[in-house]
Structures are given as structure tokens and as C-alpha cells.
Amino acid sequence: MTHMITISGAEYHLAGPGCLAPDARPVLIEDIAHHLSLINRFTGATKRPYSVAEHSLLCADIAHRMNLSPLVQLCALMHDAHEAYTTDLSSPAKIAVNCYSRGTGDCSAWGMFEDEHMKTVRRHFGMLSAFGAYKQLIHEIDLQALATERHFLTGYNAKKNGPWSILGDGERIAVPVAHWARLDSAWREETPWKKWRDMFLERFHALRLETDEAFNSRAAAARAVC
């Protein structure tokens, strides 16, 4: 069996001949919010439950604090949405899986698998071009979230643990920690998973509305000029 059953009861095909059907990969924002709120980051190696949904909201918060557009904030919120179907694999595990697959052939198995479902989800929401345009910016936001999570939530100790090159450890300019986020605060720890699910959904719909309104406003202005 190569399909999963989402919380809404839909069958989402990850691989196999079933993928050829036109409705093989139903994407629902409600499924995404629910799944992400129950998937832990860092394979659970955090001081408290920390979900992909909360991580996604942190990325949207960082984009908001940077005064970026609602579209960029929406991209920040949705950058890991495909993990509702692929699950979240830690970066070291992704590298390991790719290394194993290269040992049996010239391919990066996890990278190919994740990329396929990432595009499926982004295409469904009409966000492929937006992610292409803001790829580097979203990457930088994601890294700041990672630095913040490592600082507040993991057992990382710079004196005994090796450097994380992706965060610029040992370099003159390292990825900054968003200290304002206070990931160790009591309210975050006490917030139940259903609340993170609901906050993800609310932020999605709010940003989608802002993005649509901004697009319609620009379109109306363009028509007025013509």
C-alpha cells in the first residue's frame, strides 16, 4: 500500500500506479493544519512538544516582523505544508537517506520524493511562482526559525556539540536568534495541539484574504491606467 488516509478520510497516494488517477492527491488545508499540529520537529528531541505547525507560525511571525508582504508571510507559513503528507524528516536524516540512495544509484531519494509532493501542494494553492520568486528569502526565514528553536528548545551546547554549518556556527556572521519569540514561555508550552491547528488555519485564511485583496487592488489599478 502506497497511499495514506488523511484525517478527513481522503486517500493521498505517495507513490505507485494509484498516483496516475486525477484525484490521487487530494490536498486540503484542514488536513494540512491538523497533521502539522501533531508532527514534532527534531524527531521529538525538544524540551517540550514542538510541532511543524508552531514552526510554520513562527516563520510567518518572523516574516511579519520583517515587514514583508502578506504573500511572503503566506509562503513562510506554508513552506513545510507538504510535510502533512511526507512527514517531517530531520535534516541529518534527509542527508543520510540521500547518501544511502546514492550508494545504490545516482539519485537523492528523499530529495526527489519530497520535491514531488512539495510541488503538488504548492501547485494546488497556486503558489509555485511565489515560492520561486521568494525562495532565498523563505530559506533565510526558515534558518532564523531553526536558530531560535535550537537556542530555546534543544539540548544543544556549543561547548560540547559540533557546529551547525547551516547556521553559520564559527563564522563572523551567524544566523541570528529571534529572542522576542520566547519559545520557552509558559503560554507556548501550555497551548494544546488543537490550538496550534486552529491558529495555523486562521493565519492561512487571513493571509490568503490579504493576498487576494492586494492582487485585486493592483489589477484594478492596472485596468484604470489602461
CATH 1.10.3210.10 fits domain 29-225: yes
CA 195 → CA 7, 51, 98, 138, distances in Å?
17, 12, 35, 25
**Residue-wise pLDDT tens for the chain (226 aa)?**
889 999 999 999 999 888 878 899 999 999 999 999 999 999 999 999 999 999 999 999 999 999 999 999 999 999 999 999 999 988 888 888 888 776 666 678 888 999 999 999 999 999 999 999 999 999 999 999 999 999 999 999 999 999 999 999 988 889 999 999 999 999 999 999 999 999 999 999 999 999 998 777 776 777 777 6
DSSP 126: T
Residues in the chain: 226
Backbone angles phi and psi of 13, in degrees to 5: -85, 125
Indicate the domain borders of the chain.
29-225
Instruction: Look at residues 157, 158, 138, 151 and name the one whose alpha carbon lies nearest to residue 182.
Output: 151
d(CA 56, CA 195): 14
DSSP 183: T
d(CA 40, CA 46): 9
